[in-house]
Structure 1
């Protein structure tokens, strides 16, 4: 019998009541604790930011500590409390849960504990479900910092099996947790295997890319990228994020090159108005768009080949490379150690690292025949798909494993809801 079939039999004839969280337990705000208060040994403590970065769904030990004197002034989580990070910069993460299974621990502000008599991991899984997330969305407030108040959280309804029989209710909740923990462990194992495979393939990809674009001395000409018959660099314009519109002329902001784009693109993520576009410098099909500033040396000069049919506007802190070469070939060249080694001598700045267009023009690029450029691109495209594609390849497989877990988790919480429960 499958896990889900077993659970279905267990739930047969069982009453499930959707209760407001405020009827199930109490929300208690944290207070006072800051990162500067951490010491190496002392009273266990949790800062709200660590729920995003250090913890998984549950924990019984902390990574940080505070003095006993400070701990006496702070609110403390007890075993079986659900800890919640109640502020975030995005809607998905706000109210991220942590099932606390350890001894007392001090908690910071910008988080709450939810004290209740349910299975804490059952609630933690529920807080990650689509059913909870859908209800949560209508209560989120704030602009840059997104938050949900305890009063609004108290209105959200959760499915409680056999609410009038606590012993049976906890037994059913424990069984749901056991199944979800099993799915979680399997997902983590498969994801770890796929991630290791992806890491190995990326190393292999990097090696072959550098080999394919490393020609023996005299085999091909190495020419300055700014040489007249090779290409020219054109600085971007004054486009800013606040200029984005829902539709209009496609545009690329330099920051998106780090976070959104890969080696090449034929569609933009964002747009600006046609009136503003007339004032902006534009990349044409086949041009490279290069981010000329970054906070670190590795990322500065990250490039994307624009392969779309329409001209697109480019922001400042980026430049356009107009050239006579295969655009993908040039974009792959920007990823090689050969390019990186030349680039480093031209980096300036302290906190913000940059390379200007004049210095980029001095970098030497190997220029084989157009047929050889196309052959190299064809090989590297296959590697790029395997290691970077979110619609194909290993990244897609990793994403599918996570979605599979989310599907079964949401299925387990999709009890029949009374008509009164709307969100």
Structure 2
């Protein structure tokens, strides 16, 4: 079934009209409420900044609370209301919506508006719609400011919202609820995968710590100078668009060049700046920028084991200098590391590589699965919330 057929079946022949948000519910601008007003317990409170840093699309509980005395002075948020951000440093975060589903009345403050949906609008349906390109384009027309972007409650009320069969509120809410049900299912799946990823990362860190920790006397310890062929800085300063040889810098691939300066399996360590000590592994033919150290292990130090070992050591802690942290080749050469037999190195590297692929790889494992589910969700969200526009609205 095509996207258009799917939507037609869902609508079952009913008309879709676009109506100003202000006609679909009451919009109340918040007032007051600063972070210094928060208390450990009290009346649930929603701060506008938390809507784009902490909450998802809906919540039954609030992160913060205020005293009952202050709550009396603030605008009230009831179950089913939608709190919308009016202000942010970027347009993307303006118009973010949070559906409040808590039983206890909450409050909110300035830089936010409260939408109290009327009989033809489901709060969560509207919240999902705020994630679409159509809503993004509409709020852009009303946005004011440069460093701080604001869309007032008055202007927010003018934004057109597609409503199926508005003349039959019961049927309209039923269609909206079905759209919400489908999108909730995708959102829940992504949330479950993200939770699993967090658990797997904790497991990975635990096993990595165990596998890379050795008791005194259990294995030899050697300096990096003893188990490397060389540790030297890259020299590349020139990139071009015609070359096919990758040029690596402190954070990974930064460009291409025509001629390879290095080859083989090596580790790259960021030498200077905020990323000083960051470790990457590369192979094949390549060049390296002058802000990166090239660590070439000898045959007795497995390169994959070395990658996990140096990453686990957090080389940034050895950086010198204040404003511009620096990790030098001389410093690396002097560091001592546990040095198990090569077959044990290979075993440990194999285990950690599998965990790493599961928790960090963008081509496989959970991150890849989450990315696919997010794309699937975005596809169905756009499909379910993209309604044909009448000539009157388009004019």
Contact conserved, 1:27 with 1:114, CA < 8 A, in 2? yes
Deviation at 1:378, TM superposition (A): 7.4
Q: How has the CA–CA distance of structure 1 residues 154 and 198 changed in structure 2, closer, same or farther, with 3 Å as cutoff?
A: same
Structure 1 window deviating more from structure 2 (198-207 vs 356-365): it is: 198-207
Does residue 303 of structure 1 match 2:279? yes
Distance in 1 between the 2:352 and 2:44 partners?
50
Contact conserved, 1:293 with 1:353, CA < 8 A, in 2? yes
Match among 393, 408, 416 for residue 365 of structure 2: 393
The aligned counterpart of 1:413 is 385
Distance in 2 between the 1:284 and 1:144 partners?
45
The aligned counterpart of 2:108 is 107
Match among 154, 157, 168 for residue 157 of structure 2: 154
Distance in 2 between the 1:411 and 1:215 partners?
63
Q: For residues 175-197 of structure 1, give each alpha carbon's deviation from its aligned partner in whole angstroms, at most 9, with x where no partner exists.
A: 33334334433443454445545
Distance in 2 between the 1:235 and 1:44 partners?
57
Distance in 1 between the 2:240 and 2:29 partners?
39
Task: State the secondary structure of the residue aligned to 2:334.
Answer: coil
The aligned counterpart of 1:132 is 135
Distance in 2 between the 1:164 and 1:334 partners?
64
Deviation at 1:340, TM superposition (A): 1.8
Aligned length: 378
Task: State the secondary structure of the residue aligned to 1:56.
Answer: coil
Q: For residues 297-331 of structure 1, give each alpha carbon's deviation from its aligned partner in whole angstroms, at most 9, with x where no partner exists.
A: xx8622234668664656xxxx5213443799668
The aligned counterpart of 2:124 is 121
Q: For residues 146-174 of structure 1, give each alpha carbon's deviation from its aligned partner in whole angstroms, at most 9, with x where no partner exists.
A: 54444543343221111122233223323
Match among 166, 169, 173 for residue 166 of structure 1: 169
Q: How has the CA–CA distance of structure 1 residues 62 and 330 changed in structure 2, closer, same or farther, with 3 Å as cutoff?
A: same
What stretches of structure 1 of length at least 5 have no aligned partner? Answer: 238-244, 258-264, 275-282
Mapping for residues 330-341 of structure 1, pairs under 5 Å: 333=306, 335-336=308-309, 340=313
Deviation at 1:371, TM superposition (A): 11
Contact conserved, 1:77 with 1:107, CA < 8 A, in 2? yes
Distance in 2 between the 1:90 and 1:291 partners?
33
Structure 1 window deviating more from structure 2 (65-74 vs 322-331): it is: 322-331
What TM-score results when the alignment is normalised by the length of structure 2?
A: 0.72
RMSD: 4.8
Contact conserved, 2:24 with 2:117, CA < 8 A, in 1? yes
Deviation at 1:353, TM superposition (A): 10
Distance in 2 between the 1:361 and 1:140 partners?
55
Does residue 176 of structure 1 match 2:179? yes
Distance in 2 between the 1:348 and 1:10 partners?
63
Q: How has the CA–CA distance of structure 1 residues 153 and 320 changed in structure 2, closer, same or farther, with 3 Å as cutoff?
A: same
Distance in 2 between the 1:5 and 1:190 partners?
30
The aligned counterpart of 1:290 is 270
Task: State the secondary structure of the residue aligned to 1:128.
Answer: coil
Distance in 2 between the 1:75 and 1:391 partners?
47
Q: How has the CA–CA distance of structure 1 residues 335 and 17 changed in structure 2, closer, same or farther, with 3 Å as cutoff?
A: same
Contact conserved, 1:284 with 1:310, CA < 8 A, in 2? yes
What stretches of structure 2 of length at least 5 have no aligned partner? Answer: none
Q: How has the CA–CA distance of structure 1 residues 41 and 16 changed in structure 2, closer, same or farther, with 3 Å as cutoff?
A: same
Contact conserved, 2:7 with 2:383, CA < 8 A, in 1? no
Structure 1 window deviating more from structure 2 (107-116 vs 358-367): it is: 358-367
Q: For residues 368-387 of structure 1, give each alpha carbon's deviation from its aligned partner in whole angstroms, at most 9, with x where no partner exists.
A: 99999999877765554333
Deviation at 1:55, TM superposition (A): 2.5
Task: State the secondary structure of the residue aligned to 1:336.
Answer: helix
Task: State the secondary structure of the residue aligned to 2:297.
Answer: coil
Structure 1 window deviating more from structure 2 (4-13 vs 409-418): it is: 4-13
Contact conserved, 2:249 with 2:288, CA < 8 A, in 1? no
Q: How has the CA–CA distance of structure 1 residues 137 and 323 changed in structure 2, closer, same or farther, with 3 Å as cutoff?
A: same
